[in-house]
Amino acid sequence: MMVKKWIKQPLNKNGNPVHIKVHVKKGDTVQVVAGKDKGKVSEITEVFSKTGKVLVKDVNIQTKHMKPQSAESAGQILQREAPVHHSNVMLYSKEKEVRSRVGVKVKDDGSKVRYLVKTGEEI
């Protein structure tokens, strides 16, 4: 998703855009908890850290009407996914079929691992 050029983005002290911390990553299985697609379980295909939105497969489908590019070609109607805010999705466990918040554990060797709070399952 392209950030609109005319909207001023918040900048950090180095002049770079501020990135919003998101609790999900690309490839995670999530369940939508708000909106018209509430309850759908799908996979995250892209994360937009500047806006805090995520693109979820087969969720928030919008119709785009395209004009013909030339006199010979015909116009077309495209169905595409639009981003949803990361707060409207929760991680989902396929084995237990339950949604949960995400936590971070530090293992004995010092590495961090994400896990589902409700089930204890590591991601």
Could you read off the pLDDT of 34-51 as tens digits, one per residue?
999 999 999 999 999 988
Yes or no: say if 22 and 54 are a contact pair by the CB < 8 Å rule: yes
Rounded Cα–Cα distance for residues 106 and 113 (Å): 6
Structure tokens that stand for 72 in this block? 């010979």
The residue-averaged pLDDT of 99-104 equals 96
Q: What is the pLDDT of residue 2?
A: 61
- Percent residues over pLDDT 90 in the chain: 85
The residue-averaged pLDDT of 14-29 equals 94
Q: Which residue matches tokens 């991601």?
A: 123
CA dihedral sign, ordered 32, 33, 35, 39: positive
